[in-house]
Structure 1
Amino acid sequence: MDVRQLGVEFFDRLNRHDPLGASLVGLTTYDAFLPDPRHSADLAAARYFRAVARSASSLAVGASSLAVDDTDRDVLRWMADAAADEAEHCLWEANASAMVYGSPQASYFMAGGDQRLPGAAAFFDGLADRYRDAASRGRPSTRFGLQQAAAQLDAHLERPVPVLPAGVRAAMIRLRDAYLGELSENARDDEHAGILAVRGGEAGYRAAVAAHTTLPSTPREVHDLGLSLLADLDEQWSTIGKEAFGITDPVAVRAKLRDDPSLRFTTAAEIMATVAAALDRVSARTPEITALAASAPCAFAEVPPEDADSAPAAYYRPPAVDGSQPGTVFIHTADPGQRSRFALEALTFHEAVPGHHFQIVAAQGLTELPDFRRYVDTRLGAYVEGWALYAEQLADEMGLYSSPLTRLGRVSLAALRAARLVTDTGLHAFGWSRRQSRDFLTAGTVMSSRDVRQETDRYIAWPGQALAYSVGAREILRLRESARTSLGSRFDLAAFHDQVLGAGIVPMTVLSTIINRWAAA
């Protein structure tokens, strides 16, 4: 069997194991399926994925009887091993929550549809059984996560349309009651919020660090990197703070951004208009960024009200492969007085153009690549989120921010991503409490108290994912400077971006090989 046929079989099994994840990257083929919540299903999947990784490793480049592409092989081997780790450690079972991607329940609501309703009652009942089983194996969820998951169910139960079938409604109520009842009795408290506190959590987190950074990093190395990046940002806080406010002290600049009510929006309409203007500016400059820029427009919409309490400030939903839905950025507009004017442009460049929208649509357009290199999102977060964070800095280098204030917004988000390295590892590797994480984020970033709460709870619900951003962006910048040094006057920024986006979605170790080959050639 050649690597692409092995990849086809692997990718189908992966998406049948996690059909909600498949829908969230635009693969409509799996829209009618739901995952099997049983522990035995995860263990069986892990055995299969590990066997695929071994098979991929055995494929020798250049063997005359095999059609092997070494990049396909290396990506498949990495993805299969990471999928096996994810299924073996299954950290979600110890973290009931309302966090999209981190929680099957939340992913159901984001990726669900009427076509999934026939199996929904069994799915919700299966989740309740799985959380009970996990707790019996020394893997209880956090009490606040259970409460948030229950609140999300209540919000969807109260929606006027569509009308839920009686059996589905009853199963959702049973799951909610389990969250608030028996599962809460022995739940983890705020002092034991990290995955370190559950059986197998330490090994599971090490695997999560490897999966989300796609580099051989330890939790301690990532923690120290975050502290270093935060210290390096002080110069930008000072220089841009002077332009924006006449203030040079980084602490005072952050305090101004955090506390000045005039730097908040007043209406949802203002928020959406800011997004539209930023998209107009960057869309006019796309030829300077990459020749692979997709012609598909990027839509934007408000976060649905039933998801407002748990949703981040913005998130991106890729376009459906069949064209039934466009790539869409969802913007949080609830309580505009809590939404900063200064950070929204950077968020737009991150989530839309030239960030997630460019990268994901470009990957979907690489029809010569196998699907396992085109339709991947969180499983290769260092590439996906690393590109999106790099896009924020790229927009600054291109002069796309409208003012020094919004440039400070980019710095504020860079500080947040650096702080994530510290808080995520602090929670899950070094035993930080929920309060310790909040205090660190409050001191080192400009987030409101509401956003600090949401960020902390996100890291707790999805261990390791928050590491992808800074680690990935830092690696792309390193590769860019290495290529610039190697090529000298022949270096072309758009051509470099073509190589990054034209690689499909890959681990950072594989991207390094691709860029080094390009520069050498």
Structure 2
Amino acid sequence: MIATRRAVLRGIAAAMATPAVAIGTDADAAAWRALDEAATLPPDRALAALASLTDAGLGVGRRLDLAAARAGLMDDRALLDPALPPDVRFAWQVRRITGSDVTLATLSRDLEAAQRALTAAATPLFDRLGISGATIGARFERTWRDPRWRFVDDASGREQAVYAMRATLATIRLRLRGLIGSLPPACLDVGVRALDAAEVAANTSGYRTLPAPGVRGGYVVDLADITRRPRFTLPSVVAHELLPGHMAQMPMEALAHPHPLRLRYAAAFSEGWGIYAERLMATDGLFASPQDRLGHIHWMLFRIGRGRADVAIHVHGQGPDQAQAAMRETMGESAYFAPFATDIARIVAAPAIRAGEAWLPLYLTQARPRDRARWPAYHMALLRWGRIRTEQIAAAIHAERSLSDR
């Protein structure tokens, strides 16, 4: 493979980064320099270096940078204790990349409840489609092999898949303003295409390209093994990878240019937003047919299953084989880009990441106003300043209201 998904994204992010930090005041510039210094220091020394800074004279972005840095550095300081029990260490690790609102008990409860709700929602949908099986996973396996929803494994089948994704994107565009608000034009200048022959030959994974002046952005989808991508799996991919997912969040973050310390200590937000975008479009009725709804549920079970495997392995000492068996029983089919064994190995090597990414969308859903008329302002508050920690959502909403009052 010539480039991994993460390597491609790092290159894109570097290309989109503003060459010189847009800082509006001397206080902003001083705060940025102090944060740069703190990023090179151990937690205690970094916190001491930031102790004298106040919010006075700082713009919204720098205030969020400073607060995220302090919170994350305190999490890092706690994690230096070698005597932490596994459950306490894991809780701090999740908190470090999501925010101070998470506890292990809350995370475990929310993930379990989400999985229960998803499997309960899937059962009548399988029944409507006449797909039986002893477990939810077995029913998904049968659905994957049903010829009603498989693309032909040739050029015409791949063209049909891309056309279907473009049609989904067009449908989402009509709903965006009422859900997200007025996105910058660059976020909307995105499309979808399949990997070309050279990329397929090089074993390239699907990847994103961020829009830039004169450059259209979008998602390049891997359809090399199209037999593993039934048409009902693709609408949720569009919501996650394009709009209102990563093509809303990532370009806006590039414009906001948060400090690297905020990126470090709100690391779960970007993927969490992509998953949240899928949930949002489900709430808005995008996945209308039983099979499309099942495709969305399968993606959500994948995210939740990863999070629960993360907890099971690192907190409860479950073996990788057991964790893999649990995911297989629930999902039946692995995600296209994440075979079960490969995914479990990643979870073993990187504790708390998948749990944080799976829990954050549940938190964002719970924090969302009940009044749909307030959703655009809520979502703009989450996106405008770049990724944020959960305890910063209220401050971001306040800043968004201040902008709208001007």
Whether the aligned pair in 1 keeps the contact of 2:131 and 2:143 (CA below 8 Å) is no
The CA deviation at 1:379 is 5.2
The CA deviation at 1:443 is 0.7
The CA deviation at 1:288 is 2.0
| Unpaired runs of at least 5, structure 2 | 1-6, 20-37
**Corresponding residue for residue 209 of structure 1:** 94
**Corresponding residue for residue 470 of structure 1:** 358
Cα distance in 2, alignment partners of residues 241 and 438 from structure 1 = 23
Whether the aligned pair in 1 keeps the contact of 2:149 and 2:231 (CA below 8 Å) is yes
The residue correspondences of 1:423-502 to structure 2 (distance < 5 A) are 423-448=309-334, 451-480=339-368, 483-484=369-370, 491-502=373-384
Cα distance in 1, alignment partners of residues 77 and 219 from structure 2 = 29
The residue correspondences of 1:16-415 to structure 2 (distance < 5 A) are 23-27=11-15, 46-47=40-41, 51-61=45-55, 66-68=56-58, 72-79=62-69, 82=72, 205-219=90-104, 221-245=106-130, 251=136, 253-260=139-146, 262-267=148-153, 268-296=158-186, 297-302=189-194, 304-305=199-200, 308=203, 311=205, 314-319=206-211, 323=213, 325-366=215-256, 371-372=257-258, 380-401=266-287, 403-415=289-301
Whether the aligned pair in 1 keeps the contact of 2:252 and 2:383 (CA below 8 Å) is yes
- CA deviation profile, 1:97-147 (whole Å, cap 9, x unmatched): xxxxxxxxxxxxxxxxxxxxxxxxxxxxxxxxxxxxxxxxxxxxxxxxxxx
Whose Rg is larger?
Answer: 1
Cα distance in 2, alignment partners of residues 70 and 56 from structure 1 = 17
Cα distance in 2, alignment partners of residues 498 and 30 from structure 1 = 21
More displaced 10-residue stretch of structure 1: 79-88 or 428-437: 79-88
Residues 374, 60 of structure 1: alpha-carbon distance in 2 compared, 3 angstrom cutoff: closer
Higher relative contact order (CA 8 A, sep 6+): 2
- CA deviation profile, 1:37-84 (whole Å, cap 9, x unmatched): xxxxxxx965267644444444334xxxx4235773343342466479
Local SS of the residue matching 1:431: coil
What amino acid is aligned across from residue 292 of structure 1 in structure 2? S
Local SS of the residue matching 2:252: helix
Cα distance in 2, alignment partners of residues 266 and 467 from structure 1 = 36
RMSD value, Cα: 4.2
The CA deviation at 1:442 is 0.4
Local SS of the residue matching 2:219: strand
The CA deviation at 1:275 is 1.9
The CA deviation at 1:459 is 2.3
Percent identity of paired positions between Structure 1 and Structure 2: 19
What amino acid is aligned across from residue 298 of structure 1 in structure 2? V
The CA deviation at 1:358 is 0.9
Whether the aligned pair in 2 keeps the contact of 1:53 and 1:81 (CA below 8 Å) is no
- CA deviation profile, 1:14-56 (whole Å, cap 9, x unmatched): xxxxx9986442445699xxxxxxxxxxxx9652676444444
| Unpaired runs of at least 5, structure 1 | 1-18, 32-43, 91-197
**Corresponding residue for residue 396 of structure 2:** 514
**Corresponding residue for residue 23 of structure 2:** none
Tell me the number of residue pairs that the alignment of Structure 1 and Structure 2 aligns: 365
What amino acid is aligned across from residue 474 of structure 1 in structure 2? L
- CA deviation profile, 1:450-477 (whole Å, cap 9, x unmatched): 7323432332343322123332111211
The CA deviation at 1:390 is 1.9
